[in-house]
Amino acid sequence: MINRQTFWQLARFGVIGVLAALTHYAIAILLTNHGIAAGWANLVAFVTAFWVSYFGHRYFSFDAGDLSHQQTLPRFILVAVIGFIFNETLLLLMLRFTTISIDIGLPFIIILTAAMTFILSRQFAFDTTDSDKRAPR
């Protein structure tokens, strides 16, 4: 069972995740509809959504605004890359070694990736438990 604080932190994490996903989707569709190649459109959309995710999690999900960007940004980039590799690896393994279709399996992979990303973000990228990490005011 999770405590009330963790529950609401997880809920805020979910809200930011949905906003980042919608940002990614909207920009990718907008750019491809204006003639930008899908690969480039997806890259621009991912980078834009990354910033929505970073600032949303930094200030809303984890209340880590008083930690320095020099500490949190590199860590969050690492978390995002790990999350992408984890997601992509699970997807490729599922498609290669099972008969599970992508429309059935992908939601589970996304949930597993989100759970892992939440834990890494909370315990590593935006860890606010050590007062020595906080930037001076």
| Least confident stretch, 20-24, 33-37, 94-98, 101-105 | 101-105
* Separation of CA 85 from chain center: 12
Task: Read off the pTM.
Answer: 0.83
Query: What range does the domain containing 36 cover?
Result: 4-128
Q: How many domains does the chain have?
A: 1
Q: How do residues 18-60 score in pLDDT, each as one tens digit?
A: 999 999 999 999 999 999 988 899 889 999 999 999 999 999 9
- Asked if residues 27 and 41 have their Cβ atoms less than 8 Å apart, the reply is yes
Which of the four pLDDT bands, split at 50, 70 and 90, describes residue 90? very high
Strand partners, 101: none
- Asked if residues 32 and 41 have their Cβ atoms less than 8 Å apart, the reply is yes
pLDDT at 120: 97
The yes-or-no verdict on residue 102 having pLDDT over 90 is no
Q: How do residues 50-87 score in pLDDT, each as one tens digit?
A: 999 999 999 999 999 999 999 999 999 999 999 999 98
pLDDT at 107: 87
Which of the four pLDDT bands, split at 50, 70 and 90, describes residue 132? low
Cα distance between residue 126 and residue 124, in whole Å: 6
pLDDT at 137: 40
133 assigned to some structural domain: no
136 assigned to some structural domain: no
17 assigned to some structural domain: yes
Cα distance between residue 108 and residue 14, in whole Å: 15
